[in-house]
Amino acid sequence: MTGSYDDRDGKIWLDGQLVDWRAAQVHVMTHALHYASSVFEGERAYGGTIFRSRDHSERLHFSAGELDFQIPYSVDEIEAAKASVLAANGLSDAYVRAVAWRGAGEDMGVASARNPVRLAIAAWEWGAYYGDAKFKGAKLDIAKWKRPSPETIPVHAKAAGLYMICTTSKHAAEAKGCSDALFMDYRGYVAECTGANIFFVKDGEVHTPKADVFLNGLTRQTVIDMLQERNIPVHERAIMPEELEGFEQCWLTGTAAEVTPVGQIGDYRFEVGTLAREMVEAYETRVRG
């Protein structure tokens, strides 16, 4: 499937029914368009099975609750809808996007309690998020923005509004020839990238930022489990930027990113080493198992 995302063949599940892709429309007065009252999930299907599908659906409900709205479909109904989208589009290996938002209704101010909550699910073929970086290592910029304090935003929700600084930071990174950008948090600690969590290796042990001000990704959780199964020590902790110089290997994790080695962050360089490559292969085996 190629072309603009509003002009494709196929079906999208919208508010309880499958509709033609081009007919899946919303009004310009939709509350989410004006006030970012929207949450979403990005998921991948491998061989017709969505990896950790139910966890994604449950997190979608959690994120909606963090934004003070309730999705009018149960987790079971969302699971059935995702399966119907894959079947209707004849997809086996695919990216799946579920998005819930406050639609157009009686309210058009900051408050929108009377507006309907809508849900859509789409799926399409999507290759490696960072292209050939899985083989040679991604190059990362360091973002000028910082991940905010949990006192300012719902940091554990996968909410559309939280990605504003991700978009601007990734644009800046791409303009420099980089694949992505690394954020520090409001305290100055290493945090995450625009759409992926980050891991480092030093002396055979793994270090990753503690997920206390950003989303604890499902892929992140899976990779930590796989490392622990191999008896590799994993330290979830505060990491200072100056520590980057001492790390030997680095990789990113995320549903879109899967496991992607990193070769450079700013002026710091990393080996695309044995453990990074092993985790790429191990994750591929896990999701297709």
Q: In this predicted model, what pLDDT tens digit does every residue of 240-271 receive, in sequence order?
A: 999 999 999 999 999 999 999 999 999 999 99
First to last CA, the chain: 26
User: Mean pLDDT over residues 220-234, rounded?
Assistant: 98
DSSP conformation class of 52: T
In this structure, the answer to whether residues 150 and 278 fall within a common structural domain is yes
In this structure, the answer to whether residues 91 and 207 fall within a common structural domain is no
User: Looking at residue 69, what is its pLDDT?
Assistant: 97
In this structure, the answer to whether residues 117 and 142 fall within a common structural domain is no
Output the DSSP codes for 232-262: --EEEE---GGGGGG--EEEEEETTTEEEEE
In this structure, the answer to whether residues 157 and 67 fall within a common structural domain is no
- Structurally, the chain folds into a number of domains equal to 2
208 vs 1, residue with greater confidence: 208
How many CB atoms are located within 10 Å of the residue 82 CB?
Answer: 24
2 in any annotated domain: no
In this structure, the answer to whether residues 270 and 153 fall within a common structural domain is yes
In this structure, the answer to whether residues 142 and 282 fall within a common structural domain is yes
Residue where one domain finishes, among candidates 72, 100, 124: 124
| Residues forming a β-bridge with 118 | 101
How many CB atoms are located within 10 Å of the residue 32 CB?
Answer: 23
Q: What CATH number corresponds to the domain at position 57?
A: 3.30.470.10
Residue where one domain finishes, among candidates 124, 159, 180: 124
117 in any annotated domain: yes
In this structure, the answer to whether residues 107 and 156 fall within a common structural domain is no
pLDDT band at 131 (very low <50, low <70, confident <90, very high): confident
Tokens, residue 226: 């796989």
In this structure, the answer to whether residues 59 and 139 fall within a common structural domain is no
Give me the count of residues in the chain. 289
4 in any annotated domain: no
Q: Which residues are catalytic?
A: 158
54 in any annotated domain: yes
**Domain of 184?**
133-287
In this structure, the answer to whether residues 113 and 162 fall within a common structural domain is no
In the chain, what percentage of residues exceed pLDDT 70?
99
Confidence check: pLDDT of 108 > 70 = yes
Distance CA 104, CA 206 (A): 47
Confidence check: pLDDT of 128 > 90 = no
Q: What CATH number corresponds to the domain at position 181?
A: 3.20.10.10
User: Looking at residue 1, what is its pLDDT?
Assistant: 53
In this structure, the answer to whether residues 228 and 152 fall within a common structural domain is yes
5 in any annotated domain: no
Distances (CA, A) of 99 to 9, 43, 182: 19, 11, 25
User: Looking at residue 278, what is its pLDDT?
Assistant: 97
User: Looking at residue 134, what is its pLDDT?
Assistant: 77
Residue where one domain finishes, among candidates 68, 98, 124: 124
User: Mean pLDDT over residues 84-104, rounded?
Assistant: 98
What is the chain's mean pLDDT, rounded? 96
Confidence check: pLDDT of 187 > 60 = yes
In this structure, the answer to whether residues 192 and 116 fall within a common structural domain is no
In this structure, the answer to whether residues 232 and 270 fall within a common structural domain is yes
Confidence check: pLDDT of 121 > 60 = yes
Give residue-wise pLDDT tens across range 41-91. 999 999 999 999 999 999 999 999 999 999 999 999 999 999 999 999 999
152 in any annotated domain: yes
Element containing residue 206 per DSSP (H, E):
strand 205-209
3 in any annotated domain: no
